[in-house]
Amino acid sequence: MSAELALRDPTAGPPPIRPSPRASWAAGPSRIASHARVSRLGLRTVALGYLLLLLVLPVGMVFWRTFEHGLAPVWAAVTAPDAVHAFWLSLLLVAIAVPLNTVFGVAAAIAVVRQRFWGRRVMSSLIDVPFAISPVVVGLALVLAYGHNGWFGNWLDSVGIQVIFSVPGMVMATVFVSLPFVAREVIPVLREVGTEAEEAATTLGASPARTFWHVTLPAIRWGIVYGVVLTSARALGEFGAVSVVSGRLSGSTQSLPLYVQDRFENFDATGAYTAAVVLAVLAILILVVMNVLARNRRVVA
């Protein structure tokens, strides 16, 4: 206050009337605070409304419609032979795609981050291709390459292996679409942990294999875990690519998402909703596992 007075021209007459310091103190911050509160509430409302309309409501509807007529029809739908087959086929696809893409993803990440070779950038971009290409196109590409008249198709026919319209093709489609996740999760972690710990292990006499198992792998394990979770979710839910290559033979080449579609198209609402609920529950389980792991991570590291 005194500094302000000292600066004012003494010939300028009396100071203009201003609100008392106390009033301005009371008005200023509280007005700012209420603004902040309004915008905060607005943001929350929009975000929650968005989630509610697009996610919670539709998924909730599926659950509600499923159990609308009690548990008996649900049980009947769950235990229908084609449903059981679809369930196990989906788990099989996950069980093959996840380990394959985990090994590939970790190897690719190490190659991209730790090694210098010609084509490294190309490889890094190639890993992302499944993100960019529509799954339907992936399916068509597989049909072109491995189908009856495809490049490898004739040869595969001659040795008696059927890829397209059969489980091997579905595995390939699933592996393809879920390929980038582990690599994309592990690459930044690998960059962040740096090379010093690995070099330290080497100078302490550890072989490359020992360094990998005892130093590199523990350092990137959380990246791998998240990658595996995302890979599983994607492999489980994949529809487009698998749909094209499967031929959709119920009881044979129908994974769970294909089965949902099949039941829906055949006006079997209970069958469709029940299978959808099973899919949703599996996905939720994966999310729960991820959250539990994330919590443990905070406790340990």
Partner 1 sequence: MAIELLNISKRFGEFVALDDVCLRIGDGELTAVLGPSGSGKSTLLRVVAGLEVPDGGRVVIGGEDITEDPAQRRGVGFVFQHYAAFRHMTVAQNIAFGLRVRRRPRKEIADRVAELLALVHLNGLADRYPAQLSGGQRQRMALARALAPEPRVLLLDEPFGALDATVRAELRAWLRRLHDQVHVTTIFVTHDQEEAMEVAQQVVVMHEGRIEQVGTPRELYEVPRNEFVMGFVGPVNRLGDAFVRPHDVQVLPEPDAGTSEALVERVIHLGFEVRVELTLDDGRSVWAQITRATAEELELERGQIVAVRIAAPRQFTST
For residues 189 and 219, is the Cβ–Cβ distance under 8 A? yes
Q: Which stretch binds partner 1 (CB under 8 A): 2-10, 25-33, 167-175, 193-201?
A: 193-201
The CA distances from residue 179 to 95, 233, 291, in Å, are 14, 12, 22
Per CB under 8 A, does 199 bind partner 1? yes
CA distance 12 to 35: 37
Region from 81-89, 90-98, 214-222, 237-245 binding partner 1, contact rule CB under 8 A: 214-222
Per the CB < 8 A criterion, the answer to whether 254 and 89 are in contact is: yes
For residues 299 and 301, what is the distance between their CA atoms, to the nearest angstrom?
A: 6
Q: Does 294 sit near partner 1 (CB under 8 A)?
A: no
Q: If binding is defined by CB under 8 A, does position 9 make contact with partner 1?
A: no
Comparing CB distances to partner 1, the nearer of 35 and 214 is 214
Nearest distance in Å: CB 193, partner 1: 8
Q: C-beta of 185: minimal distance to partner 1 in Å?
A: 18
Q: Does 207 bind partner 1 (CB under 8 A)?
A: yes
Q: Which residue has the tokens 């875990």?
A: 225
Of the candidates 196, 267, 298, 299, which one interacts with partner 1 according to CB under 8 A? 196
Phi, psi of 111 (to 5 degrees): -60, -45
Nearer to partner 1, 67 or 212 (CB): 212
Cβ neighbours, 10 Å, residue 69:
10
Nearer to partner 1, 18 or 116 (CB): 116
Q: Which stretch binds partner 1 (CB under 8 A): 49-57, 133-141, 210-218, 255-263?
A: 210-218
Residues near 176 by Cβ (< 8 Å), separated by ≥ 6?
130, 138, 142, 241
| Interacting residues with partner 1 between 107 and 146 (CB under 8 A) | none
Residue 301 within binding range of partner 1, rule CB under 8 A? yes
List all residues 6 or more positions away from 126 whose beta carbon is below 8 Å from its beta carbon: none
User: Taking CB under 8 A as the rule, does residue 203 contact partner 1?
Assistant: yes
Q: CA 191 to CA 223: how far, in whole Å?
A: 11
Single-letter amino acid, residue 221: R
Give me the 218-237 binding string for partner 1, x by CB under 8 A, dash otherwise: xx------------------
Please, what is the minimum distance in Å from the beta carbon of residue 199 to partner 1?
A: 5
174 and 238 in contact (C-beta within 8 Å)? yes
Residues that bind partner 1 (CB under 8 A): 194, 196-197, 199-208, 210, 214-215, 218-219, 301
